[in-house]
């Protein structure tokens, strides 16, 4: 089954797109990228979801080397296949160790909408990744919270305080791709609940870099007024002055 997937990927591969895409993903091995556009990858994942995708996963797990697009398909199939949610969670556990860059993480996360049907079970499941030691495991958990809890108006009123608390726990001296995910998530939290987010930004729950990056992302939003942007700018300036005075 894996050979058939690779054959289909080769048919869709574009050399120019490969060059463009690999420049956006630091550290990726160009030799392990076909150069297939994301819409085409999703079409292949949906096709495989109706075929023997479990055989494909078994063959991937047994192999030592994997193409970027194969890993995308592995992750996406979990969201597209008609299977019980318990099996989806089990397959996600198998997939997450494959995540080694931000693009793979963020592209796959959006397909796991099934988690919205049982948000508390999903939240408890994601908490394990937020508490892990791995950079991309933590990013996976963070971006999942953003995609399916913060950006889900049906449940975010209840879960937003929980998400912000998790970001507070994550928000000090994290690896780069975790820090960026925290800042991204909090910038959207600000749109959904300004008071709770400002409370975190005004306290000592975040390190200086994460706070600064969060405020930068908020100020880039068209949904934030100019007055708010100026107040946030003053907030980060005040913190910078305090850091200089204390020698931190």
Identify the weakest region by mean pLDDT among 46-60, 125-139, 234-248. 234-248
What is residue 106's predicted lDDT score, i.e. its pLDDT?
97
Identify the weakest region by mean pLDDT among 66-75, 140-149, 203-212. 203-212
- What pLDDT digit, counting tens, does each position of 12-21 carry? 999 999 999 9
- Average of pLDDT values for 44-67? 96
CATH number attached to the domain at 121-248: 1.25.40
At 173, is the pLDDT very low, low, confident or very high (cuts 50, 70, 90)?
A: confident
In the chain, where the domains are located: 1-111, 121-248
pLDDT of 244 over the 80 cut: no
Say what percent of the chain tops pLDDT 90.
Answer: 83
Distances in whole angstroms, Cα of residue 96 to Cα of each of 2, 58, 100, 141: 19, 15, 9, 10
pLDDT of 237 over the 80 cut: no
- What pLDDT digit, counting tens, does each position of 80-97 carry? 999 999 999 999 999 999
- Average of pLDDT values for 216-236? 89
Which one, of 96, 176, 159, 171, lies nearest residue 122 by Cα?
159
What is residue 242's predicted lDDT score, i.e. its pLDDT?
52
pLDDT of 243 over the 80 cut: no
């Amino acid at each position: 089954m894996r050979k058939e997937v690779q054959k289909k990927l080769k048919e869709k591969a574009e050399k120019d797109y490969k060059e463009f895409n690999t420049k956006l993903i630091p550290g990726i091995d160009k030799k392990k990228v076909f150069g297939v556009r994301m819409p085409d990858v999703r079409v292949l994942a949906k096709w495989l979801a109706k075929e023997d995708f479990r055989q494909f996963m078994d063959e991937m797990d047994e192999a030592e080397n994997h193409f970027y697009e194969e890993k995308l398909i592995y992750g996406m199939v979990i969201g597209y296949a008609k299977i019980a949610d318990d099996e989806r969670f089990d397959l996600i556990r198998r997939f997450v160790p494959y995540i080694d860059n931000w693009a793979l993480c963020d592209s796959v996360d959006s397909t796991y909408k099934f988690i919205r049907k049982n948000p508390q079970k999903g939240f408890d499941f994601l908490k394990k990744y937020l508490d892990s030691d791995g950079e991309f495991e933590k990013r996976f958990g963070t971006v999942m919270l953003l995609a399916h809890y913060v950006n889900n108006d049906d449940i975010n009123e209840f879960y937003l305080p929980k998400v912000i608390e998790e970001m507070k726990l994550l928000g000090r001296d994290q690896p780069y791709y975790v820090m960026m995910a925290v800042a991204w998530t909090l910038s959207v939290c600000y749109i959904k609940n300004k008071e709770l987010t400002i409370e975190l930004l005004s306290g000592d729950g975040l390190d200086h870099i994460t706070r600064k990056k969060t405020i930068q992302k908020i100020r880039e939003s068209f949904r934030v007024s100019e007055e708010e942007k100026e107040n946030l700018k003053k907030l980060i300036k005040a913190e910078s002055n305090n850091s200089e005075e204390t020698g931190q």
